[in-house]
Amino acid sequence: MEEPRYISDLLERIAQPGFLVKNQKIVNVNQAARAMLLAPEMPVAQFLCTGSEEYAVFQEGHLCLTLTIGGQNHAAVVSRLDDCDLFLLDPAEETAEFRSMALVSKELRMPLMQIISSAQQLANTEGADSPAAARMNQGLMQMLRLVNNLGDISRYMTSSRMEVRDVDSFLQEVFEKAGTLTRGRVQLSYEGLKQPVFSQIDPEQLERAVWNILSNSIKFLPENGSIQGRLSRHGRMLHLTVQDSGSGIAEAVRDTLFARYLRKPGLEDPRYGLGLGLTIVQTAAANHGGTVLISSTPEGTRVTMTMAICQDSNALLRSPLLRPDYTGGWDHGLVELSDCLSADLYSNL
Protein backbone atom coordinates (compact mmCIF):
# COMPACT_ATOMS: atom_id res chain seq x y z
CA MET A 1 0.00 0.00 0.00
CA GLU A 2 1.33 3.45 -0.88
CA GLU A 3 2.03 6.05 1.78
CA PRO A 4 -0.61 8.78 2.36
CA ARG A 5 -0.58 11.56 -0.21
CA TYR A 6 0.28 14.25 2.33
CA ILE A 7 3.51 12.46 3.22
CA SER A 8 4.54 12.31 -0.44
CA ASP A 9 3.78 16.00 -0.85
CA LEU A 10 5.75 16.79 2.30
CA LEU A 11 8.73 14.84 0.99
CA GLU A 12 8.81 16.74 -2.29
CA ARG A 13 8.75 20.11 -0.51
CA ILE A 14 11.90 19.26 1.45
CA ALA A 15 15.05 20.69 -0.14
CA GLN A 16 17.54 18.37 1.56
CA PRO A 17 17.83 14.73 0.43
CA GLY A 18 15.05 12.63 1.91
CA PHE A 19 13.27 9.34 1.39
CA LEU A 20 10.58 7.16 2.93
CA VAL A 21 11.12 3.62 4.14
CA LYS A 22 8.47 0.97 4.74
CA ASN A 23 9.20 -2.63 5.64
CA GLN A 24 12.96 -1.99 5.36
CA LYS A 25 12.71 -0.79 1.73
CA ILE A 26 12.74 2.68 0.21
CA VAL A 27 9.29 3.48 -1.15
CA ASN A 28 9.65 7.11 -2.20
CA VAL A 29 12.46 9.64 -2.70
CA ASN A 30 12.52 13.37 -3.30
CA GLN A 31 14.42 15.19 -6.01
CA ALA A 32 17.57 15.73 -3.94
CA ALA A 33 17.70 12.02 -3.04
CA ARG A 34 17.17 11.01 -6.66
CA ALA A 35 20.24 13.04 -7.53
CA MET A 36 22.17 10.75 -5.18
CA LEU A 37 20.89 7.74 -7.21
CA LEU A 38 18.53 6.58 -4.49
CA ALA A 39 15.39 4.87 -5.77
CA PRO A 40 12.36 2.91 -4.56
CA GLU A 41 12.77 -0.80 -3.77
CA MET A 42 16.33 -0.33 -2.51
CA PRO A 43 16.80 -2.00 0.91
CA VAL A 44 17.78 0.63 3.45
CA ALA A 45 20.05 -1.84 5.27
CA GLN A 46 22.65 -1.59 2.50
CA PHE A 47 23.20 2.08 3.36
CA LEU A 48 23.36 1.86 7.16
CA CYS A 49 26.86 2.66 8.39
CA THR A 50 25.91 3.09 12.06
CA GLY A 51 22.58 2.38 13.69
CA SER A 52 21.47 -0.91 12.16
CA GLU A 53 20.68 -2.40 15.58
CA GLU A 54 19.10 0.79 16.86
CA TYR A 55 16.95 1.23 13.76
CA ALA A 56 15.73 -2.37 14.01
CA VAL A 57 13.97 -1.51 17.30
CA PHE A 58 13.15 2.14 16.52
CA GLN A 59 9.57 3.06 17.43
CA GLU A 60 9.29 6.77 18.21
CA GLY A 61 11.22 9.97 18.61
CA HIS A 62 14.11 11.09 16.42
CA LEU A 63 16.98 8.73 15.64
CA CYS A 64 20.20 10.17 14.24
CA LEU A 65 22.38 7.63 12.43
CA THR A 66 24.91 7.49 9.61
CA LEU A 67 24.36 6.33 6.03
CA THR A 68 27.01 5.48 3.45
CA ILE A 69 25.89 6.46 -0.04
CA GLY A 70 28.21 6.51 -3.02
CA GLY A 71 31.20 5.94 -0.78
CA GLN A 72 30.47 8.99 1.39
CA ASN A 73 29.05 9.11 4.90
CA HIS A 74 25.97 11.21 5.57
CA ALA A 75 24.30 11.96 8.90
CA ALA A 76 20.57 11.29 8.73
CA VAL A 77 17.65 11.82 11.09
CA VAL A 78 14.85 9.25 11.11
CA SER A 79 11.29 10.10 12.18
CA ARG A 80 8.22 7.85 12.22
CA LEU A 81 5.30 9.09 10.10
CA ASP A 82 2.28 6.80 10.31
CA ASP A 83 3.68 3.46 9.17
CA CYS A 84 6.61 4.98 7.23
CA ASP A 85 10.01 6.20 8.35
CA LEU A 86 11.21 9.53 7.00
CA PHE A 87 14.99 9.74 6.45
CA LEU A 88 16.40 13.26 6.09
CA LEU A 89 20.08 13.62 5.16
CA ASP A 90 22.32 16.55 5.97
CA PRO A 91 22.62 18.95 3.02
CA ALA A 92 25.97 18.64 1.25
CA GLU A 93 26.62 22.37 1.50
CA GLU A 94 26.85 22.16 5.30
CA THR A 95 30.43 20.90 5.05
CA ALA A 96 31.50 24.23 3.57
CA GLU A 97 29.47 26.06 6.22
CA PHE A 98 31.27 24.22 9.00
CA ARG A 99 34.65 25.12 7.51
CA SER A 100 33.61 28.76 7.37
CA MET A 101 32.45 28.64 10.97
CA ALA A 102 35.80 27.10 11.97
CA LEU A 103 37.65 30.01 10.35
CA VAL A 104 35.45 32.52 12.17
CA SER A 105 36.05 30.67 15.43
CA LYS A 106 39.82 30.74 14.90
CA GLU A 107 39.75 34.50 14.43
CA LEU A 108 37.60 34.99 17.53
CA ARG A 109 39.45 32.65 19.88
CA MET A 110 42.65 34.67 20.38
CA PRO A 111 41.04 38.05 21.21
CA LEU A 112 38.51 36.26 23.43
CA MET A 113 41.28 34.56 25.42
CA GLN A 114 42.97 37.94 25.81
CA ILE A 115 39.73 39.47 27.10
CA ILE A 116 39.29 36.63 29.59
CA SER A 117 42.85 37.07 30.83
CA SER A 118 42.39 40.83 31.19
CA ALA A 119 39.09 40.31 33.00
CA GLN A 120 40.82 38.08 35.54
CA GLN A 121 43.51 40.70 36.14
CA LEU A 122 40.85 43.39 36.57
CA ALA A 123 38.85 41.21 38.95
CA ASN A 124 41.94 40.55 41.06
CA THR A 125 42.47 44.30 41.32
CA GLU A 126 38.90 45.45 41.86
CA GLY A 127 37.56 42.46 43.79
CA ALA A 128 36.68 39.11 42.25
CA ASP A 129 33.78 38.49 44.64
CA SER A 130 31.53 41.20 43.24
CA PRO A 131 28.30 40.12 41.47
CA ALA A 132 29.32 42.15 38.42
CA ALA A 133 32.61 40.24 38.13
CA ALA A 134 30.76 36.93 38.45
CA ARG A 135 28.30 37.85 35.69
CA MET A 136 31.15 39.05 33.48
CA ASN A 137 33.06 35.79 34.02
CA GLN A 138 30.00 33.71 33.25
CA GLY A 139 29.34 35.67 30.07
CA LEU A 140 32.92 35.14 28.93
CA MET A 141 32.63 31.40 29.57
CA GLN A 142 29.42 31.38 27.50
CA MET A 143 31.26 33.10 24.66
CA LEU A 144 34.15 30.64 24.95
CA ARG A 145 31.72 27.72 24.73
CA LEU A 146 30.07 29.17 21.63
CA VAL A 147 33.43 29.83 19.94
CA ASN A 148 34.55 26.28 20.74
CA ASN A 149 31.35 24.82 19.31
CA LEU A 150 31.62 26.86 16.12
CA GLY A 151 35.20 25.80 15.54
CA ASP A 152 35.33 22.19 16.65
CA ILE A 153 32.40 20.58 14.84
CA SER A 154 34.28 20.65 11.55
CA ARG A 155 37.36 19.16 13.25
CA TYR A 156 35.35 16.39 14.87
CA MET A 157 33.76 15.50 11.55
CA THR A 158 37.14 14.87 9.94
CA SER A 159 39.27 13.38 12.72
CA SER A 160 39.19 11.65 16.08
CA ARG A 161 41.99 11.00 18.55
CA MET A 162 41.22 7.64 20.08
CA GLU A 163 42.69 6.15 23.21
CA VAL A 164 41.67 3.25 25.43
CA ARG A 165 39.67 4.16 28.53
CA ASP A 166 37.31 2.50 30.97
CA VAL A 167 34.15 4.09 29.60
CA ASP A 168 32.15 3.66 32.81
CA SER A 169 34.75 5.37 35.01
CA PHE A 170 35.18 8.12 32.44
CA LEU A 171 31.45 8.90 32.35
CA GLN A 172 31.13 8.65 36.11
CA GLU A 173 33.73 11.39 36.53
CA VAL A 174 31.78 13.70 34.22
CA PHE A 175 28.49 13.07 36.06
CA GLU A 176 30.14 13.55 39.45
CA LYS A 177 31.56 16.89 38.31
CA ALA A 178 28.17 17.94 36.97
CA GLY A 179 26.50 16.87 40.20
CA THR A 180 28.89 19.05 42.21
CA LEU A 181 28.24 22.11 40.04
CA THR A 182 24.44 21.71 40.07
CA ARG A 183 24.03 20.68 43.73
CA GLY A 184 21.02 22.37 45.27
CA ARG A 185 19.37 22.96 41.92
CA VAL A 186 19.27 19.55 40.23
CA GLN A 187 19.01 16.02 41.57
CA LEU A 188 21.55 14.28 39.36
CA SER A 189 22.40 10.58 39.54
CA TYR A 190 24.41 8.11 37.51
CA GLU A 191 24.13 4.32 37.37
CA GLY A 192 27.07 2.59 35.74
CA LEU A 193 28.15 -0.92 34.93
CA LYS A 194 29.19 -3.52 37.48
CA GLN A 195 32.51 -4.12 35.78
CA PRO A 196 34.91 -2.02 33.67
CA VAL A 197 34.52 -1.93 29.91
CA PHE A 198 37.61 -0.73 28.12
CA SER A 199 37.07 0.73 24.68
CA GLN A 200 38.70 3.18 22.30
CA ILE A 201 37.15 6.60 22.73
CA ASP A 202 37.97 10.19 21.91
CA PRO A 203 37.85 11.61 25.46
CA GLU A 204 37.32 15.20 24.37
CA GLN A 205 34.45 14.41 22.01
CA LEU A 206 32.71 12.04 24.41
CA GLU A 207 33.05 14.44 27.35
CA ARG A 208 31.65 17.35 25.36
CA ALA A 209 28.78 15.21 24.10
CA VAL A 210 27.79 14.38 27.68
CA TRP A 211 28.15 17.99 28.81
CA ASN A 212 25.86 19.11 25.99
CA ILE A 213 23.23 16.50 26.83
CA LEU A 214 23.29 17.56 30.48
CA SER A 215 23.22 21.27 29.60
CA ASN A 216 20.13 20.81 27.44
CA SER A 217 18.39 18.89 30.23
CA ILE A 218 19.28 21.34 33.00
CA LYS A 219 18.04 24.37 31.05
CA PHE A 220 14.53 22.94 30.86
CA LEU A 221 14.27 21.53 34.37
CA PRO A 222 12.05 23.02 37.06
CA GLU A 223 13.61 23.79 40.43
CA ASN A 224 14.73 20.54 42.12
CA GLY A 225 14.15 18.61 38.91
CA SER A 226 15.95 15.33 38.38
CA ILE A 227 18.31 13.86 35.80
CA GLN A 228 19.17 10.17 35.76
CA GLY A 229 22.11 8.91 33.73
CA ARG A 230 22.53 5.21 33.08
CA LEU A 231 25.14 3.25 31.16
CA SER A 232 24.15 -0.22 29.95
CA ARG A 233 25.72 -2.82 27.71
CA HIS A 234 23.87 -4.49 24.85
CA GLY A 235 26.19 -6.97 23.19
CA ARG A 236 28.86 -5.00 21.38
CA MET A 237 27.14 -1.66 22.08
CA LEU A 238 27.07 0.68 25.07
CA HIS A 239 23.97 2.80 25.69
CA LEU A 240 24.20 6.02 27.69
CA THR A 241 20.65 7.09 28.57
CA VAL A 242 19.92 10.47 30.16
CA GLN A 243 16.34 10.93 31.38
CA ASP A 244 15.13 14.22 32.84
CA SER A 245 11.95 15.34 34.56
CA GLY A 246 11.54 18.52 32.54
CA SER A 247 8.61 19.68 30.44
CA GLY A 248 9.78 17.93 27.27
CA ILE A 249 10.74 19.41 23.93
CA ALA A 250 8.31 21.89 22.42
CA GLU A 251 6.52 20.36 19.46
CA ALA A 252 7.30 23.42 17.33
CA VAL A 253 11.04 22.67 17.38
CA ARG A 254 11.13 18.88 17.49
CA ASP A 255 11.56 18.54 13.75
CA THR A 256 14.56 20.88 13.72
CA LEU A 257 16.42 19.46 16.72
CA PHE A 258 19.38 18.39 14.61
CA ALA A 259 19.18 21.27 12.14
CA ARG A 260 22.28 23.44 12.03
CA TYR A 261 21.97 27.21 12.35
CA LEU A 262 18.21 27.18 11.73
CA ARG A 263 17.16 28.71 15.04
CA LYS A 264 15.27 32.01 14.93
CA PRO A 265 16.25 34.14 17.93
CA GLY A 266 13.30 36.01 19.33
CA LEU A 267 10.78 33.79 17.59
CA GLU A 268 11.19 30.79 19.88
CA ASP A 269 12.51 29.89 23.32
CA PRO A 270 16.17 31.04 23.41
CA ARG A 271 17.09 28.03 25.54
CA TYR A 272 17.13 25.96 22.34
CA GLY A 273 20.11 27.91 21.03
CA LEU A 274 21.58 27.34 17.57
CA GLY A 275 21.54 23.56 17.56
CA LEU A 276 25.32 23.33 17.84
CA GLY A 277 25.29 21.24 21.00
CA LEU A 278 23.25 18.42 19.53
CA THR A 279 25.44 18.53 16.45
CA ILE A 280 28.42 17.76 18.68
CA VAL A 281 26.47 14.92 20.33
CA GLN A 282 25.50 13.51 16.93
CA THR A 283 29.04 13.76 15.56
CA ALA A 284 30.61 12.20 18.65
CA ALA A 285 28.15 9.30 18.53
CA ALA A 286 28.86 8.66 14.84
CA ASN A 287 32.61 8.73 15.46
CA HIS A 288 32.12 6.07 18.14
CA GLY A 289 30.06 3.87 15.84
CA GLY A 290 26.75 4.82 17.41
CA THR A 291 23.60 6.87 17.16
CA VAL A 292 21.49 9.37 19.10
CA LEU A 293 17.83 8.75 19.92
CA ILE A 294 15.72 11.56 21.38
CA SER A 295 12.19 11.02 22.62
CA SER A 296 10.10 13.55 24.51
CA THR A 297 6.84 13.66 26.45
CA PRO A 298 5.31 16.33 28.70
CA GLU A 299 6.89 14.42 31.61
CA GLY A 300 10.45 14.79 30.34
CA THR A 301 13.00 14.05 27.65
CA ARG A 302 15.13 10.96 27.14
CA VAL A 303 18.38 11.06 25.18
CA THR A 304 20.14 7.80 24.38
CA MET A 305 23.63 7.92 22.89
CA THR A 306 24.99 4.58 21.71
CA MET A 307 28.63 3.64 21.21
CA ALA A 308 30.29 0.57 19.74
CA ILE A 309 32.79 -1.18 21.99
CA CYS A 310 36.09 -1.08 20.13
CA GLN A 311 38.87 -3.04 21.78
CA ASP A 312 42.41 -3.31 20.44
CA SER A 313 44.93 -5.30 22.46
CA ASN A 314 47.79 -3.22 21.06
CA ALA A 315 46.08 0.02 22.04
CA LEU A 316 46.03 -1.00 25.71
CA LEU A 317 49.80 -0.37 25.79
CA ARG A 318 49.51 3.20 24.58
CA SER A 319 49.81 6.14 26.93
CA PRO A 320 47.06 8.77 26.98
CA LEU A 321 47.57 11.21 24.15
CA LEU A 322 48.88 14.68 24.77
CA ARG A 323 46.40 17.16 23.34
CA PRO A 324 45.77 20.87 23.80
CA ASP A 325 43.01 21.70 26.23
CA TYR A 326 40.04 22.92 24.21
CA THR A 327 39.00 25.42 26.91
CA GLY A 328 42.47 26.91 27.27
CA GLY A 329 42.80 25.48 30.77
CA TRP A 330 39.51 26.71 32.23
CA ASP A 331 37.25 24.34 34.14
CA HIS A 332 35.42 22.23 31.57
CA GLY A 333 32.21 22.03 33.57
CA LEU A 334 32.02 25.77 34.17
CA VAL A 335 32.48 26.36 30.44
CA GLU A 336 30.12 23.68 29.14
CA LEU A 337 27.34 24.41 31.65
CA SER A 338 27.77 28.19 31.55
CA ASP A 339 24.27 28.65 30.07
CA CYS A 340 22.53 27.01 33.01
CA LEU A 341 24.58 27.49 36.19
CA SER A 342 24.29 30.16 38.84
CA ALA A 343 26.51 33.19 38.29
CA ASP A 344 27.79 32.80 41.85
CA LEU A 345 29.97 29.91 40.70
CA TYR A 346 31.95 32.28 38.47
CA SER A 347 33.06 34.76 41.12
CA ASN A 348 36.50 33.18 41.42
CA LEU A 349 37.66 31.54 38.21
> What was the pLDDT predicted at 93?
57
Q: Would you say 245 and 226 are in contact if contact means Cβ atoms under 8 Å apart?
A: yes
**Contact present, 271 and 220 (Cβ < 8 Å):** yes
Give this prediction's pTM.
Answer: 0.86
128 with 347: CB under 8 angstroms? yes
In the chain, which stretches have pLDDT less than 50? 1, 260-267, 316-317
CA–CA gap between residue 281 and residue 275 (Å, rounded): 10
Architecture of the CATH domain 163-322: 2-Layer Sandwich (3.30)
Q: What is the DSSP letter of 298?
A: T
Q: How would you classify the pairing of strands 163-166 and 300-308?
A: unpaired
Q: Each residue of 78-90: b (16+ CB within 10 Å) or e?
A: bbeeeebbbbbbb
pLDDT of residue 23: 93
- Please report the pLDDT score of residue 67 as a whole number: 96
pLDDT at 263: 43
Q: What is the pLDDT of residues 247-275, one digit of tens each?
A: 767 665 555 555 543 444 444 555 555 56
User: For residue 162, how many C-alpha atoms fall within 13 Å in the half-sphere facing its CB?
Assistant: 17
Residues of the chain with CATH 3.30.450.20: 5-89
How far is 162 from 178, CA to CA, in rounded Å?
24
The pLDDT, as a whole number, for residue 264 is: 46
Question: How far apart (Å, rounded) are the C-alpha atoms in residues 197 and 339?
Answer: 32
- The continuous run of DSSP H or E covering 122 comes out as helix 94-126
Residue 347, classed as helix, strand or coil, is coil
Tens digits of per-residue pLDDT, 27-78? 999 999 999 999 999 999 999 999 999 999 999 899 999 999 999 999 999 9
The CATH number of domain 5-89, selected from 3.30.450.20, 3.30.930.10, 2.30.40.10, 3.90.180.10: 3.30.450.20
- 273 and 133 in contact (C-beta within 8 Å)? no
Give the pLDDT of residue 261.
39
> For the domain 94-158, what is the CATH code?
1.10.287
Q: Give the pLDDT of residue 222.
A: 83
